Structure 1
């Protein structure tokens, strides 16, 4: 037992020795890599150190080793890049030159170096600090890797690796790329180009998934949805064209927007690193020409992206931002009409989100959509008054119904449909409806007959008696032409005068008073009321100063729950014991039967 205990005690110093050896080995590796890098930078005789340093740039390598190798190889390759780009063109010579062979070999090692950097960059195992350094290194190669010009091939490899990787939709690499480099117009330009190419690869991948089994199809669909999320993130983070035009900075100002005509208006490009303007030989096209090129690339990228099978979350985000972020900057907005009309035909909240962009195309770009008002009428459901984007919908609804060219039957149908919804919607929705109905009646005097219409204005068939008090409005009918709204009346609006919510009843009474005045009253702004809720109504009531408060609900104590005036034609008679007469007779019959 003593020997065994002694053996156990001897394991502790052995373990410490092993850990000490590992630390010394790691330190030696750091010094070893530093020496390899210094030798590589000093003399060409140590060129074989290059493949050794490349072996340490892997996702499994310690971060300090990968960083030390990166610094050495980046210092080695950066001054050689202009020679490496020109060597590929001369490599096809029949008589091999040793110098060209050497440069060609270096070019292949540089490609391996970039590939290793990208692999670590998109690896979830890598540390965030190291990935930020690697991103800056790759973008430096993008800046000068093509004989001093923008290297679009390296940038496309970077974006392709990010899109097809397992990184999340808002990973730090995507955030850093957008925040640090999307302020440069040439980076945004090539981002549009690369994303368009990546969309084509995703479409080809989707077509090839038809032959896969069910499990692989699910995995492929999940991977594609993640890629779509990342593409949407990049597209939405590119600044608007006005912001890029105001600050025409380029990551590399050589060759992208080169001047072709000496007479063309030119401007100097500011270099952020040198804080100086380029010389006269490095001028670029005018801002108008640059904007035209950017619009073409933006158009192709977005149209390609919208062809993908977008997940529902991405689909909604796109519809919400399309009328502000895309339509004003696209070369021909009418090209979005197919996507928007299909979205508008889906119904529900998707149609509400597509309404903003579709309205812009109709009012500003001459789009003709005959079924617009039919689809808009179908959206009038109680659920729309609790939807997230109801405020924008009500504003567009009010704007769409203000046209003086709107037929009377259509205006009456919308007016009656909104009035009927007051019976089902919350108080905040009823207030919005009162404003919409008021604007409709003010803008379309031809439907003022709906305010107080007691008689049936239609013709009664022969042999059929005229029915009084019948509402001819067909609430379930989806076609506004067939609703018979013009033969109805707005009796629902009259019921709001007795609404349980005081703000609704006051607003309805004010509407009735305005309609009683023959003079035209101003329209009500729906914007101020469209985002209301129970909370806003309660807060407004708490701030309201009440001058007079009723002491009791009744002047005299009531003797019954209902009065006979509430039910004309009915009589409520009670016996001495409080039961109704038919109940008393039934009791008497049962008693007689028992005695018999």
Structure 2
């Protein structure tokens, strides 16, 4: 009898179908082959352009392959380099320029090529602004190569190529580039510092760019570019390093004064911009070494420095050196200089990180022996009064500073020792004492009566808790046999140095072992401690209970 026989069930596992595609190794091979084919295609298009004018349309094809359109720029750098070679050859062959005798079709072709060249330049600037750092550096190199070719081969266009067009867009792209730190560093090291014509025209472009109000972030970038130009040419400097050969009709590139004038215009445009307080301080820090040497007319800095000096605080401290230079060298009339300087002497100054810089500058400001004794005495007295509440690191600077000024201005030595000859007044002084005639609230340093006062503050500081401070304060009680003290030996005295001096290898051995409390109380503010100590009010903490009532 026939029966239905079922198919045997397979014991094999069901295979998971793989992705429809080649294995990973094969995919790599395919990708490399596609890349080689694309590169070969680019080279073929480039070769055809160099062979015949009938292939000029290949330029438009290559431009479409650059991939600079869209929100995310992922440029095809091989195409960018190929186009640079194409346009370099066209510029060298004179194909982008036209003559009056050229036929109409020749003019049309030249105009079309110039338009494609501008399109290529815009694409490079887009890469410069928005691409990744590696692509930005490549685009910068191609822009500068194209600029060199254009300045070399287009007659009469060597100045215009720097002052407008491509280089103008390159400088703006450098400033506004996204994540452009690497790009700006490359520009500074490869072009700005080595080549004097690049530096000259960079100053020109930055001056035009900074003439418009910019954001603080943009201004920080402008600072970094200008600050990289920290080598000012000497009056006898000979210009030899050029990225492009300067033409005979533009000899300003060979002039030291012209270079300094361009730098001066650039810095002035920055100083007149919308600066924040931190940016103003940054500029004042580099004023003496980086900015002022570029100025052929330093008096143009007058407004910026006086405004900064009037701000007060750390900003005024940073503006001191530049302002005093204008007073001393350029005859700037600033009658309130010493009054403002006197107002800067406050407790905050002695805790400021600019304290050392201020004392160095004040040594120069008050060094003239023609200053009134009353003015110098006010500064000495003000510092002595501030020393009472100053940190030890500041006191060790103040005392040698006062010593030097007493040696420089002997008239002020009456503040150390004044003989009282009137017998009646002398007995009254010894029995009752006297009020200090110094007026600490007076803002005019010539009217504080400091010369009638004394330096009793330094006498008090001879009992300071720190032995080094007490020792240095005793120099005013001894004979002034030393000509002067070098402030540089004291300006960098810090808390860290004090600790190292006490704990270091060269620390002096202790003559007397310090007494420490060996009994640590369990309670300080409660009466239970008193009960635990047997009811006697002699335990540690009893003084606090005696002074304060916690009931």
The structural deviation recorded for 1:398 is 1.3
Q: What is the distance in 2 between the residues matched to 1:160 and 1:189? A: 16
Aligned CA distance change for structure 1 residues 315 and 23 (closer, same or farther; 3 Å): same
Residue 365 in 1 paired to residue 330 in 2? yes
Indicate the SS of the match to 2:97: helix
Q: Does 1:100 align with 2:107?
A: yes
CA distance in 1, matches of 2:66, 2:250: 37
Contact 1:498–1:505 (CA<8 Å) still a contact in 2? yes
1:142 to 142, 147, 161: 147
> Match of 2:222?
231
Which residue does the alignment assign to 1:525? 486
Spell out the pairing of 1:82-121 with structure 2 (5 A cutoff): 87=97, 90=100, 97-121=104-128
Contact persistence 2:59–2:83 (CA under 8 A): yes
2:232 touches 2:293 (CA, 8 Å); kept in 1? no
Cα distance in 2 for partners of 1:551, 1:10 equals: 89
Supply the distance in 1 between the matched residues of 2:36 and 2:92 (Cα, whole angstroms): 35
Kept after mapping to 1: 8 A contact 2:501/2:507: no
Cα RMSD of the aligned pairs, angstroms, is 3.4
* Contact 1:374-1:479 at 8 Å conserved across structures: yes
The residue aligned with 2:209 is 198
d(CA) in 1 for partners of 2:383, 2:271: 34
* Partner Cα separation in structure 2 for residue 456 and residue 23 of structure 1: 105
Paired residue for 2:62, among 53, 75, 78?
53
Deviates more, 1:349-358 or 1:9-18: 9-18
- The CA deviation string for residues 477-503 of structure 1, in whole angstroms up to 9 with x for no partner, is 333234222222101111121111111
- Separation in structure 1 between the aligned mates of residue 18 and residue 507 of structure 2, nearest angstrom: 83
Query: Could you tell me how far 1:391 is from its partner in structure 2?
Result: 1.7
The DSSP-based 3-state class of the residue aligned with 2:20 is helix
| TM-score, length-scaled by structure 1 | 0.74
Please give the alpha-carbon distance, in whole angstroms, between the structure 2 residues aligned to 1:194 and 1:234.
12
Q: What is aligned with 2:168?
A: 156
Aligned position for 2:76: 66
Aligned partners of 2:68 and 2:457: how far apart in 1?
69
TM-superposed CA distance for 1:297, in Å, is 0.7
Distance in 1 separating the partners of 2:98 and 2:175: 29
Provide the residue aligned with 2:243 in structure 1. 251
Residue 85 and residue 321 in structure 1: after superposition, are their counterparts in 2 closer, same or farther (change >3 A)? Answer: farther
User: Quick check: 1:321 aligned with 2:321?
Assistant: no
Picking from 43, 46, 55, the partner of 2:52 is 43
Instruction: Say if 1:63 and 1:340 are closer, same or farther in 2 by CA, change over 3 A.
Output: closer
Q: How many angstroms does 1:552 deviate by? A: 6.4
Distance (whole Å) between structure 2 residues aligned to residue 322 and residue 130 of structure 1: 35
- Greater displacement, 446-455 / 527-536: 446-455
Which of residues 21, 34, 37 in structure 1 aligns to 2:43? Answer: 34
Q: Secondary structure at the match of 2:478?
A: helix
Q: How much has 1:25 moved relative to structure 2?
A: 4.7
Q: Structure 1 residues 47, 553: CA separation in 2 closer, same or farther (over 3 Å shift)?
A: closer
Counterparts of 1:469 and 1:132 in 2: how far apart (Å)? Answer: 75
Distance 1:65 1:188, change over 3 A: closer
Q: Deviations over 1:535-588 (max 9, x none)?
A: 223334546574x8534689xxxxxxxxxxxxxxxxxxxxxx999xxxxxxxxx
> Are the structure 2 counterparts of residues 553 and 163 from structure 1 closer, same or farther at C-alpha, using a change threshold of 3 Å?
closer
Contact 1:34-1:68 within 8 A present in 2 as well: no
Displacement of 1:84 in angstroms is 5.7
Q: CA deviation at 1:159?
A: 0.6
In 2 relative to 1, CA 489–10 (structure 1 residues): closer, same or farther, beyond 3 Å? Answer: same
What is the aligned partner in structure 2 of residue 569 from structure 1? none
Q: Secondary structure at the match of 1:529?
A: helix
Residues 58 and 119, structure 1, Cα contact 8 Å, conserved in 2: no
User: Which residue of the partner structure matches residue 279 of structure 1?
Assistant: none
Aligned residue for 1:502? 467
- Structure 1 pair 408/25, CA: closer, same or farther in 2 (3 Å)? same
Q: What is the alpha-carbon distance in structure 2 between the residues aligned to residue 292 and residue 440 of structure 1?
A: 41
Find the residue that maps to 1:528 and give its secondary structure. Answer: helix
Deviates more, 1:103-112 or 1:483-492: 483-492
SS in 2 for 1:481: coil
1:186 corresponds to: 197
Counterpart CA distance in 2 for 1:506 and 1:173 is 56
Instruction: Say if 1:140 and 1:433 are closer, same or farther in 2 by CA, change over 3 A.
Output: same
What is the rounded CA distance, in whole Å, between the counterparts of 1:258 and 1:468 in structure 2?
A: 79
Partner of 1:78: 88
Equivalent residue for 1:130? 135
How many angstroms apart in 1 are the aligned matches of 2:513 and 2:256? Answer: 71
Aligned counterpart, 1:473: 438
1:356 equivalent to 2:321? Answer yes
Secondary structure of the 2:19 match is helix
Look up the SS of the partner of 1:241 in the other structure: coil
Structure 1 pair 514/362, CA: closer, same or farther in 2 (3 Å)? farther
Matched, 1:176 2:141: no
* Deviation at residue 342 of structure 1 after TM alignment: 0.4
Is the partner of 1:87 in helix, strand or coil?
A: coil
- For the pair 1:295 / 2:260, whether they are aligned, the reply is yes
- Residue pair 1:381, 1:421 contacting (<8 A) in 2 also: yes
Aligned residues of 1:30 and 1:65 also touching (Cα < 8 A): no
Shift of 1:299: 1.2
Task: Report the 3-state secondary structure (helix = DSSP H, G, I; strand = E; otherwise coil) of the residue aligned with 2:296.
Answer: coil
Counterpart-to-counterpart distance in 2, 1:456 and 1:84 = 100
Q: How many residues align?
A: 487
Question: How many angstroms apart in 2 are the aligned matches of 1:105 and 1:481?
Answer: 77
Cα shift readout 1:380-410 (whole Å, capped 9, x = no counterpart): 1222223222222110011111111111211
Q: Tell me the distance in 2 between the aligned counterparts of 1:456 and 1:46.
A: 110
Aligned-partner SS, 1:369: coil
Structure 1 residue 366: Cα displacement: 2.3
User: Do the aligned partners of residues 259 and 433 (structure 1) sit closer, same or farther apart at CA in structure 2, a change above 3 Å counting?
Assistant: closer
